[in-house]
Amino acid sequence: MAGHSKWNNIKHRKGAQDKKKGKIFTKLGRELTMAAKEGGGDIEFNPRLRLAVEKAKAANMPKENLERAVKKGTGELEGSEFFEIRYEGYGPEGTAFIVDAVTDNKNRTAGEVRAAFTKKNGNLGTDGAVSWMFKKKGVISVPVGNLDFDEVMLDCLEVGAEDLIMEDEFFQIMTEPNKLGEVLKLLEKNYKCEEAEVAMIPDNKVMITDLEMAKKVLILFDALDDLDDVQEVYSNFEISDEILEQM
């Protein structure tokens, strides 16, 4: 997966911001609802829901909130009807952005996403404008610790993973999206899996080596991520280590 390096740094940064904003339960709740709506309420037969439940528990989401979100998805409880929508656009320096949203009002969300792009040096594109630059992959994060790369690679290939990449203190294990749940369950027998999700991984990165440009792409990223209906923001920029040290 060329160009994968450091994508999770942005994800971890975003996760910290979500918690700080106090919005993470809302995002987790919507993911639980959509997962249950798509595949039913049984985590044994719904890998997406299983991952959503594990994330909710890791974030200490109250049990009653979790159960209520799932029941809204299965139709056991009434609630607003939510839809999944994807937006694509461009940021500074030709960077590409994918924005996944869950909303009960498509017009409101579209207007907010368009405004964020326009006000923060970006442009909202049409469907398919940048998604061709990304691949949809399952990603499992395992702390490196004292693990041997070659041994982990062999174990990953044996359970059906596609690739293994070491980033800082984590192994990033790549799978086909529909195999994520299966591979995760097998790996958990021998490894501590800290995070697992289906994500859009860029084929190649746009390297940002200028401090002001780095600030601009992060301002756009944050503006999109701050929107209430936005679940995930993916981009293909990578900020150089030298610039990161200055931020």
Is the pLDDT score of 6 beyond 50?
A: no
Same domain, 66 and 12: yes
Q: What is the pLDDT of residue 8?
A: 45
In this prediction, residue 14 carries a pLDDT of 54
Distance of CA 137 to the CA centre of its chain: 10
How many C-beta atoms lie closer than 10 Å to residue 198's C-beta?
18
> Across the chain, what does the average pLDDT equal?
87
| pTM of the model as a whole | 0.83
CA–CA distance, 90 with 102 (Å, rounded to integer): 21
Residues 66 and 168 in one domain: no
pLDDT over 50 (residue 2): no
- Dihedral pair phi/psi, residue 137, rounded to 5°: -140, 150
Residue 24 pLDDT > 80: yes
Provide the β-strand partners of residue 174: 139, 163
Give me the residues paired with residue 206 across strands: 237
Does the pLDDT of residue 13 top 80, yes or no? no
Are 114 and 169 members of one domain? no
Domain count, the chain: 3
Q: Is residue 1 part of a domain?
A: no
- Whether 2 maps to a domain, the answer reads no
Please state which of the ranges 12-26, 75-89, 149-163, 221-235 shows the lowest mean pLDDT: 12-26
Do 184 and 237 fall into the same domain?
no
Which domain does 124 fall in, by range? 83-132+204-246
Pairing of strands 237-239, 206-208: parallel
State residue 144's pLDDT score.
Answer: 92
Reported as a pLDDT band with limits 50, 70 and 90, residue 166 is confident
What is the rounded CA–CA span in Å between residue 184 and residue 175? Answer: 9
Token output for 58: 């890791």
Same domain for 117 and 237, yes or no, is yes
> Is residue 115's pLDDT more than 90?
yes
- 178/80: higher pLDDT: 178
CATH number of 16's domain: 1.10.10.200
> What is the Cα–Cα distance from 52 to 67, expressed in whole angstroms?
12
Side chain identity at 233, as an amino acid letter? V
Distance CA 21, CA 177 (A): 29
Question: Which residue reads 């985590």 in tokens?
Answer: 43
189 within domain boundaries: yes
Mean pLDDT confidence for 91-108:
94
Residue 18's pLDDT is what? 55
Residue bearing tokens 């940064």: 13
Q: Which residues contact 119 (CB under 8 A, 6 or more apart)?
A: 223
Q: Give percent of the chain above pLDDT 90.
A: 57
Domain containing residue 112: CATH number: 3.30.70.980
pLDDT, tens digit, for every residue of 81-90?
Answer: 889 999 999 9
Contacts of 116 (CB under 8 A, 6+ apart): 122, 220, 223, 224, 226, 227
Strands in the chain per DSSP E: 83-90, 96-103, 123-124, 134-143, 163-167, 170-175, 195-202, 206-208, 230-235, 237-239
Same domain (yes/no): 118, 144: no
